[in-house]
Amino acid sequence: MNETIKIGIIICDRYRRCAGGKCLRALRNREGAFSIYAGKEVELVGYTSCDGCPGGNVEYTGDEMVKNGVQVIHLATGMVVGYPPCPRIRIFKSYLETRYGIQVVVGTHPIPTKYLELHTRLGTWDSPAWEELLAPTMADKETRDAYN
């Protein structure tokens, strides 16, 4: 029997009222950053916001999620597609990985086409550092369009 992977999701506080529909659909369909779980059992054990800049909830929520058995934390796609993208996303990733010794993935659902087009026009992600952060959430155009 396969071991269930326990995950948590931290969203940007700008979207604190988000019902999580795109993230949960992507998790169910194993799309976007959740494609790493294809063929595996996954349990969502935590879902919360960072609590707004400068991310005061990241420390507390990491503790809570790890106590509940989380093995991987996903920093939601909203943190990279919002404008401006979260300026602390690298710090959150580094902190959580170092503090808790767990994997942190940037992204949840695939980047919707409308955001990819806008950020491309704005030049927001025109650096090699963004390429690595965005890789888990890139998808083919048909999938991106489905998340518009």
**pLDDT tens, per residue, the chain with 148 residues:** 478 999 999 999 999 888 899 999 999 999 999 999 999 999 999 999 999 999 999 999 999 999 999 999 999 999 999 999 999 999 999 999 999 999 999 999 999 999 999 999 999 999 998 999 999 999 999 999 999 9
Buried b (16+ CB within 10 A) or exposed e, 70-105: bbbbbbbbbbbbeeebbebbeebbebbeeebebbbb
Using alpha carbons only, give the angle 143, 86, 58 rounded to the nearest 5 degrees: 105
Look at residue 5 and give its three-state secondary structure. strand
Look at residue 135 and give its three-state secondary structure. helix
Compute φ and ψ for 75, nearest 5 degrees: -90, 115
| CATH code linked to domain 5-146 | 3.40.50
Identity of residue 88: R
pTM: 0.95
CA 59 to mean position of chain CA atoms: 16
Q: Indicate the DSSP class of residue 82.
A: S
Buried b (16+ CB within 10 A) or exposed e, 130-148: beebbebbebeeebbebbe
Identify whether the C-beta of residue 16 lies closer than 8 Å to the C-beta of residue 79. no
